[in-house]
Structure 1
C-alpha cells in the first residue's frame, strides 16, 4: 500500500530520499458542533484550475487564499479559540511556506527566498512553531518559531525534510527524514540536535509525525521493503525503539490524548488506527472504508479521521462519514482537530 505524502510534499524528497511513498459537489449537514467543534484543514479545487487553501469548522467552509492562486493547507492546530493552519501559496513563480492565524495570512521567510513549504504546525503558549522545508541546491529540513527560521539540515545531507513538530515545555521535537546519497534515515530532532531512529538495513524508512506522553517520545512512520514486492509497513518508535504496527499499511499522523497515543494506520484493507498497541478497523456499517486518512483527532471516546473519499474532503467520526461542502470540484482534508466544548 502506498500513500502520496511525498507527492504532496516535494518531488525532490521522492528522488533524494530513495523514492519512498507512504507512511482531497456535495451537500453537507453538520452533525458536530454541539458537544465539540470539528476543525478540518485542506484545500478545494476551483474552476481556474488551481487549489485554494481552506479549513472547515463544523462543516462551514473558510477559504484562506486568493482565488486563482495555487495554495494548500497541510496542517492545523487550535489554541485558545484561534485556528492556525499551515501550508503554501504560489506567489509569482515561487512556492512560499505560509501559515494562517484564523484568516490572516502570514509568510514564513527565508533569507535566500528559496521555494518552501510548511507541513506541520503547533503552538506553545503564545509561540507558533511551523515545520517544513526549503528547496535550494540541497533540500533542507527547517522549522520557524514565530516566523524566525531554524535550519535542521545535518552536515553532509543531500536532502532533508521536517514533517512533524511537537513542543513540550521548553523542548522542541521535530520528526522528519534525511538523505545521504542513496541512504535514507528517519530522524528526530530535539532542540535542533538530530537522532537517527532505529531501522532495518534492507528497508527504506521515513518518520512523519511526533508526540510525547510524559518522558516518552513517540514518532510514527513507514518503511518499504527494498525487494521487488515494495511492501510497506506502518511503524512507530517509542524513545527511539522501532515497533511494527501492520504490514501492507502506512501511517500519516500521530496524536496523544491524555496518556493514550493514536496513529493513523492506512491498510490495504481499509481505514484503521492504532491505539496503545491495538489496531482498530474503521468501518461503515461493518464495511471497510477503502481510502486513506491524512489526520486523526480524539474527543472523549470518539475517534475522528480525515482524508478524501470519492474526490471530496471527508472526515469520519467512529466510521460515520461527513462530506465537507465545497460547492463543486475536488477537495481534500489533510488535518483534523476536535475541541470539546
Structure 2
C-alpha cells in the first residue's frame, strides 16, 4: 500500500550555539509501524509507537497488522486474525479496539487503509466460492467487491482518494493485463490498463498524475502515468513495494535479492548491506527525513535516514506512518 499506500511527518533538529545549551531540541514526531512480532510461539499483530510495542492480536491465534494510518488522535490498523475455525478474519483496529470486517465464515485479510475526511477505507480480500475476491470496506461496512471475471482483482493492496475519486489497485488473477480502478462503485467504473507492470503494489495520485509501482518480470519499476522508470536491471529478482512523493522527489522501497533497497529519483541505496535477505515494505518521508519499514534477516526493522532500529528480533514490519507529536 499503499501504499501498498503514502503520507508524511516532521523531524526538527537544531544546531546549538553552545555545547551547554540548557534546552536542546528533541525530535517532535511520532513514528508508528504496523507488523507482527513472534510472541509465545506464534506471530501476533503489533503496532509500535516510537519503538514501543502494543499487541493488537489476542495471542490465542496467529494475527498480523498490515497497514497503519493516523488521523487526529486516532490510530487505525488493518490486518487479520485467525479464529477458532482456522479462518482469517479481516480486522480494523481503532486505538487498539478491533472491529471484525468479515464474519469468519471465509478466510479474509486487510492490507491497506486510506482516510479521507471522516471516511475510513480499508482494502483487502475475502475467499468466496474458493476464489480470492478483492474487497473494500468503508467505515466498517462492505463498500465494494471485485466482480467475478476471469481476470478479477484478487486482492486490494492500495487505495488512494483524491477529491471524490477513489483509486483502487492490487493483484489481478489469471493472465490478463494489469489495471487499476477509478470509482469502482460507479455505474460505469473506469479501468485503466497498466501493461508495463505484472502487479501493482503501491499507487499514489498527485494532481492529474497517477504513480504505480511493482515489478515486470524480475525488474523493479514504477510508472508515472505510462512513463516507465526501471529501478533494477533484471539480473536478480526484485520488486518495488512502496512509492512516496515528497515535493519533486520520488522515493521507492522494495528489494533486489537479497538486499533491502531504497530509491530516490531512481538512485538506489542498500539499507541492509545486501548480505542477508531483507526488504522494504513501506516508505514515508517528511522534511527530508526518510522512514522505511521492513524486515532484515527475519527481524522487524524501521530505518530512519538509513539507520536501522530493530523492533522485534523475530518479526516483520509492513507499514510506517509518521505524525507530529501532539
TM surpasses 0.5? yes
Moved over 4 A (4+): 287-290
1:62 equivalent to 2:17? Answer no
Change (3 A) 1:258 1:104: farther
Q: SS where residue 260 of structure 2 aligns?
A: strand
The correspondence for 1:197, drawn from 193, 196, 206, is 193
Give the drift of 1:337. Answer: 1.1
Give the drift of 1:177. Answer: 2.4
Please give the alpha-carbon distance, in whole angstroms, between the structure 2 residues aligned to 1:289 and 1:255: 26
Q: Structure 2: which 5+ residue stretches go unaligned?
A: 5-25
The number of aligned residues is 292
Q: SS where residue 157 of structure 1 aligns?
A: coil
Q: SS where residue 253 of structure 1 aligns?
A: strand
> What does the per-residue CA deviation read over 1:50-104, in whole Å, with 9 as the maximum and x for residues that have no partner?
2210100001111111122211001111111311111101112221111111101
Please give the alpha-carbon distance, in whole angstroms, between the structure 2 residues aligned to 1:215 and 1:117: 31
Please give the alpha-carbon distance, in whole angstroms, between the structure 1 residues aligned to 2:227 and 2:136: 25
Change (3 A) 1:242 1:113: farther
> What does the per-residue CA deviation read over 1:224-279, in whole Å, with 9 as the maximum and x for residues that have no partner?
2xxxxxxx11122222444422223211112233454322131236333233x332
Match of 1:123 in 2: 115
Query: Aligned ranges for residues 37-56 of structure 1 at < 5 Å?
Result: 37-47=30-40, 49-56=41-48
Contact 2:146 2:152 in 1 (8 A): no
Give the drift of 1:197. Answer: 3.0
1:235 equivalent to 2:221? Answer yes
1:165 equivalent to 2:159? Answer yes
Match of 2:309 in 1: 322
Give the drift of 1:107. Answer: 1.1
Superposed CA RMSD in Å reads: 2.6
The correspondence for 2:80, drawn from 71, 74, 88, is 88
Match of 2:244 in 1: 255
> What does the per-residue CA deviation read over 1:85-144, in whole Å, with 9 as the maximum and x for residues that have no partner?
11101112221111111101011136x942211011111111110111111222111111
Match of 1:30 in 2: none
TM-score (norm 2): 0.81
Change (3 A) 1:323 1:158: same
> What does the per-residue CA deviation read over 1:160-190, in whole Å, with 9 as the maximum and x for residues that have no partner?
221111111111111112223xx14322111
Change (3 A) 1:113 1:269: closer
Contact 1:294 1:334 in 2 (8 A): yes
The correspondence for 2:27, drawn from 17, 27, 34, is 34
The correspondence for 2:296, drawn from 309, 314, 339, is 309
Please give the alpha-carbon distance, in whole angstroms, between the structure 1 residues aligned to 2:230 and 2:194: 12
Match of 2:269 in 1: 281
Contact 2:180 2:191 in 1 (8 A): yes
Please give the alpha-carbon distance, in whole angstroms, between the structure 1 residues aligned to 2:33 and 2:60: 22
Q: SS where residue 74 of structure 1 aligns?
A: strand
Please give the alpha-carbon distance, in whole angstroms, between the structure 2 residues aligned to 1:310 and 1:273: 17
Q: SS where residue 149 of structure 2 aligns?
A: coil
TM-score (norm 1): 0.78
1:215 equivalent to 2:208? Answer yes
Match of 2:68 in 1: 76
Please give the alpha-carbon distance, in whole angstroms, between the structure 2 residues aligned to 1:263 and 1:146: 29
Contact 1:212 1:256 in 2 (8 A): no
Please give the alpha-carbon distance, in whole angstroms, between the structure 1 residues aligned to 2:192 and 2:223: 11
Please give the alpha-carbon distance, in whole angstroms, between the structure 1 residues aligned to 2:93 and 2:310: 23
Q: Structure 1: which 5+ residue stretches go unaligned?
A: 10-32, 225-231
Give the drift of 1:289. Answer: 6.6
Match of 2:8 in 1: none
